[in-house]
Amino acid sequence: MGSVWKRHPRYSIFLVFLLLAICFVLIPSAPYEPSYNHVAFEDTTPNVQQRFALSEAIYEKALMDRKALLRRFGPLPEDVETFPDHDKPYTIWNFFPAAFNCPYEVRHLGTLADGGKWVCGLSRLERQPDCIIYSFGISGDSTFEAELLQNTKHCHVWGYDFSVKGFTNDIPEAERWRTTFHAFGLAGSDRPATSNEPAMYSLQSLMAMNGHDHIDLLKIDIEGWEFETLEELIKPYLISGEPLPFAQLQLEIHVWDKSFASFLKLWEMLEAAGLRPFWTEPNLVYVDYAKATPSLTEYSFINIKGDNVLTRPAMTRRLPPPRHPHGP
């Protein structure tokens, strides 16, 4: 050993450190005593409240940019065209970017063509024991509702559309028990059915009929009637100061004959009620089909006010402290 040390001192020092490290690992130490209860987070998104605050600050910048764009091409809302000629480099959608950030994962559900929607925090909905989804405007495509059911265990979908008889075969029979369908329409106020018109109900009335006090996801695609409907829906909540009863909104907006000023009025009502857009997608299928301007656009909103599935802190469950591998 002495001769090895003299001939290879660096090699010998390395062997000494290696032996010490092996002894440190193999010799049992005292059991680990934690100074606090360990908490296992079911949601790994760090500090959701901070993310909401940061997103709101970013959104405030978007509001200032909108005012600057309005001054440039207005200055009054009545002066702005929805889709001007080529001499003005903007469309109505440039004033309303989806500038808010979803603090969770964002997923597209349903067909990649017309009918699919972008959803924030599907993982949160998946763990809700009383997950409630309302879908207005089924038409001939139920792929969005089908994927919602396939990706959740406890969600129930209430569908409404007076133009069809029910959900399509996109929803498999095994999931049908988690759906309810009515041939009603969504409106700003209740109107009974007549010989020429279907029954129309406000969102508040339908929730009362179903015994619901919250909606985790609300989809609205009602071919232009969203302006009247949303204005009447939001007004009472703005007056009372109460938060809207849904956590997020997937909305297709139709501005066929709407002025910029009327759209701005609706949009500012949505913002005042706490809705923030986190995703937007123009309906290019309509542009190609009708050979028209992009008058239809999908928006997805988060409701940042009140206690809902997206705003409440991450749920936790307490676990016993871990044991040291060599402890009792």
Domains of the chain: 48-303 (3.40.50)
Closest by alpha carbon to 187, among 204, 172, 174, 166? 204
Estimate to the nearest angstrom the gap between the alpha carbon of 52 and the chain centroid.
13
> CA-to-CA distance for 179 and 107, rounded, in angstroms?
21
- What are the mean pLDDT values of the chain's consecutive 10-residue runs (328 residues total)? 53 54 45 34 62 95 97 96 89 97 96 91 92 95 95 95 95 95 95 92 96 97 91 95 97 94 96 97 87 92 96 58 43
pLDDT of residue 288: 86
Backbone angles phi, psi at 216, to 5 degrees: -80, -30
Please, what is the Cα angle at 259 between 93 and 218, to 5 degrees?
60
Q: What is the pLDDT of residues 279-291, one digit of tens each?
A: 999 988 888 888 8
> CA-to-CA distance for 296 and 189, rounded, in angstroms?
25
pLDDT of residue 18: 52
Q: Which residues pair with 275 in a beta bridge?
A: 303
Estimate to the nearest angstrom the gap between the alpha carbon of 144 and the chain centroid.
14
Q: What is the pLDDT of residues 213-252, one digit of tens each?
A: 999 999 999 988 899 999 999 999 999 999 999 999 999 9
